[in-house]
Structure formats: C-alpha cells, structure tokens
Amino acid sequence: MAVTHVNEDEKALIEAIRELAQERVAPRAAEIDHTAQFPWDIKELLAQQDILAMPFPTEYGGVGASELAIVMAIEELARCCATTSLILAAQQLGALPIMLAGTDEQKRTYFPRLASGEWLAAFGLTESGSGSDAAAMKTRAVRQGDKYILNGSKRFITNGGLAHVNSIFALTDPNAGTRGISAFIVEDDFPGFAVGRVEDKMGIKGSQTAELIFTDCEVPAENLLGREGDGFKIAMMTLDRTRPGIGAQALGIAQGALDLAVSYSKQRVQFNRPIAENQGIQFMLADMATKVEAARLLVYNAAEMIDRGDVSFGKYSAMAKMFASDAAMSVTGDAIQVLGGYGYMKEYPAERMMRDAKITQIYEGTNQIQRLVIARALLSEAL
C-alpha cells in the first residue's frame, strides 16, 4: 500500500467504503453492466452512507473530505464497479465549477441537496464538434434583461438527463475566443432544457450518457458563475482537480482485475498444477502489480498536492490520469489473458473491467490532451 496521509477518521471511512463496496456493490456490478440501467439503489446507498457528501464543505451539509480521501473512495468503489465509482466522481465534477466560482448564495442553493444525494450533478462542456478543442464550442448564451437565453447542445454528458444541476459552458462573446466563454448553473426544469439521445456505450454501462439540448433555454442571470468570460478558466480549473479522480477510477479497475487474476491463477489447474506456479504467469502478475502501485502513487500524490494547495498540481493531475488509465488498459487486458477463455466470457468480470477501463483513457481529456498539458507545463517552467 502506497504511503498516505489521510487522518484517522478518513482512514476509517475508507475502510467502511471498502467493506460496503465488497458486500453491497460487487454483487450488483454484473447486472448493472448487463441491464445498462442507472443503479438508483446504489446511488441511494452512497447517499445514505454520506459518500456523495464527501466533496462538499461541512457548512453546506457535506463531509468536507480531503481530495486524497475522495480519490481513495473512488478507487475502492471502482475496484468492484466502475459505474458506481462514477456516481461519486461525476457529483464532484458537476459541482466543482460552483465550488470554484460560485457565490455563497449559489452554494447555499445547490450544495445541501447535492451533498445529501437528493440531486445529481452534471458537467456540460463537450459538444458534437468540440471535444479536445473545448474552446470550439457553439452553444450561445445571450443576456436578455434578468435572464440569459441559451441555444445549442452538449454531447456525451455523464448523468445527462438524470442530473438536476448542470454546469453548462456557453459563448457569451463569440469573438473573444476562450475569454468569450461563460459558465452557468442550469436546472433540468428550466424552460427550454431538453434531453436528446441517450448513448449506447462500450463500458460504464450503468452510467447514463446523454445529449443536452437548449432551445431558448431561460437561465436566471444570477445563475452565471463568476463573471462573463470566466467560463473557460473555470472548466480548466475543474478538470485539473477532477483528473486524479479519473486516475483513481482507473486504478480501482486495475486493482480489481489484478485481484481477480491472482486468485484465479492460484485455483486454475493445468498440467497438474495451479497456473500461478508457472513463471510466465508470475512475471505477468508482477508487472501488473507494479503498474497498479505506480499508478496509485501518482494518483495519491496529485490528490495530496491539491490538498496542500501546491500550485503546480495540474501537471501531476494529468500525469496521474494518463498513467493510471494506460495502466488500467494494460492490466485488465493481461487479466483476461491470465484467465484465458474464461476471461473472454461474461461469466467473469475481467472483460467488463477492460471495457470500463477504456473510457478512462478518453474522458476528462484524452490521454493525448494530458500529454499536451504535461508538456506545456514542463516547457513553461523556468530552468
């Protein structure tokens, strides 16, 4: 286990989450994947246990957990079920723009019911034509009196159509580049808000990914986050802080696959002995475990940097997300190989883990974007 600096209370909380994940979440994981339905029962469980409250400050009904505790919680959940871990990660992602740029009143309006889990949150940056190039968005917001009128759409939105609270990015000045983007809190019952297509995905199948459509959508002016033009920076600052969480999700998936490969290799007998006695299998397990541990150190390190307010954390967040997600793809693929034909079948969770791992190389910035973020930071540092 990597070195960690969570306090005793948080250590106990993580232990409790590990037990809860093994006892209550793991038995549901295959069914969640198979039915591709959002697991409302598991969302309730996370809410009841105050797990969804972890990212929110205590003054707004949250737990005020450290970033390190949050990534450890995501890891424990992902070890059993990636969809479940995403419920916590997406709650933090959708709420962070409010955390970073919201007024006290905005926080008082939204945080208590997000912390209790009554409301879900979503983050709407991506559009059909703007993914890696986030600034190429087309959604417009025009001020009319005490409202902004939004027109456009957002694509691939986690919790889309389930979230009551949506942090939406839109152009208030189409001629000002990234400085013309603003952020808004959009409730799902505002006039002109609609849900479009719901995606059929390769993995994280229980998580709903949908299109959000704004047709003369009326957003009260007081729902602007920060000032007009702050939106792009709010989005970037949010992603800097949530990427360790995606790294943690990848780490948890990889740890789950390693656990499975180790236990299977000790039971599976071929040529009159457990396959774990073969050096070829042992070397694979050793490489898998080393990648998992390296990913853990990067993820925990980035989270601790956020906790202690180290300003250079963005580069390390990108490294953690990139390395852990690549490790998860490699480790889950190797787990399938260790399980052989059984690994390819849905009878075992290895193939689900590989499908779930793939998205961690893509969302919250592809790993190519992470490399770009790392290289830019590296090259801008004074020598």
Cβ 191 to ligand COS shortest distance, Å? 26
Cβ proximity to ligand COS: between 184 and 264 the closer is 184
- Rounded to a whole number of angstroms, the distance between the first and last alpha carbons of the chain is 34
Contact with ligand COS (CB under 6 A): which of 236, 262, 285, 289?
Answer: 236
Residues 88, 56: Cα–Cα separation, whole Å: 11
Residues 319, 279: Cα–Cα separation, whole Å: 32
- Cβ distance 139 to 182 under 8 Å? no
Cβ 305 to ligand COS shortest distance, Å? 14
Q: Based on the shown chain and the rule CB under 6 A, indicate whether residue 24 belongs to the binding site for ligand COS.
A: no
Q: How many residues bind ligand COS (CB under 6 A)?
A: 22
Secondary structure (DSSP) of 37-82 = ---HHHHHHHHHTTSTTTTS-GGGT-----HHHHHHHHHHHHHH-H
Contact with ligand COS (CB under 6 A): which of 134, 254, 295, 353?
Answer: 134
Per the DSSP assignment, residues forming a β-bridge with 214 are: 152, 193
Letter for the amino acid at 115?
A
Cβ proximity to ligand COS: between 42 and 239 the closer is 239
Identify the three-state secondary structure at position 220. Answer: strand
Cβ proximity to ligand COS: between 165 and 239 the closer is 239
Beta strands 269-270 and 273-274 are antiparallel
Identify the three-state secondary structure at position 201. Answer: coil
Q: Based on the shown chain and the rule CB under 6 A, indicate whether residue 169 belongs to the binding site for ligand COS.
A: no
Residues 12, 276: Cα–Cα separation, whole Å: 33
Query: Which DSSP symbol is given to 4?
Result: -
Identify the three-state secondary structure at position 122. Answer: strand
Binding track over 240-259 against ligand COS, x by CB under 6 A: x-------------------
Binding track over 174-213 against ligand COS, x by CB under 6 A: ----xx----------------------------------
Q: Based on the shown chain and the rule CB under 6 A, indicate whether residue 237 belongs to the binding site for ligand COS.
A: yes
- Cβ distance 176 to 232 under 8 Å? no
Stretch that binds ligand COS, among 68-76, 106-114, 120-128, 159-167 (CB under 6 A): 120-128
Out of 76, 127, 211, 364, pick the active-site residue: 364
Q: Indicate if 19 belongs to the active site.
A: no
Contact with ligand COS (CB under 6 A): which of 201, 233, 268, 371?
Answer: 233
Q: Two tokens at 195?
A: 């849900």
Residues 229, 115: Cα–Cα separation, whole Å: 28
Beta strands 181-187 and 165-171 are antiparallel
Residue nearest to ligand COS (CB): 365
Contact with ligand COS (CB under 6 A): which of 35, 37, 132, 290?
Answer: 132
Q: Based on the shown chain and the rule CB under 6 A, indicate whether residue 361 belongs to the binding site for ligand COS.
A: no
Cβ 348 to ligand COS shortest distance, Å? 29
Residues 340, 332: Cα–Cα separation, whole Å: 12
Using a 10 angstrom Cβ sphere, with 0-12 exposed, 13-18 middle and 19 or more buried, the burial of residue 344 is middle
Stretch that binds ligand COS, among 62-70, 121-129, 139-147, 344-352 (CB under 6 A): 121-129
Q: Based on the shown chain and the rule CB under 6 A, indicate whether residue 135 belongs to the binding site for ligand COS.
A: yes
Per the DSSP assignment, residues forming a β-bridge with 198 are: 210
Q: What is the contact surface with ligand COS in residues (CB under 6 A)?
A: 123, 125-126, 132-135, 178-179, 232-233, 236-237, 239-240, 314, 363-365, 369, 372-373
Residues taking part in catalysis = 364
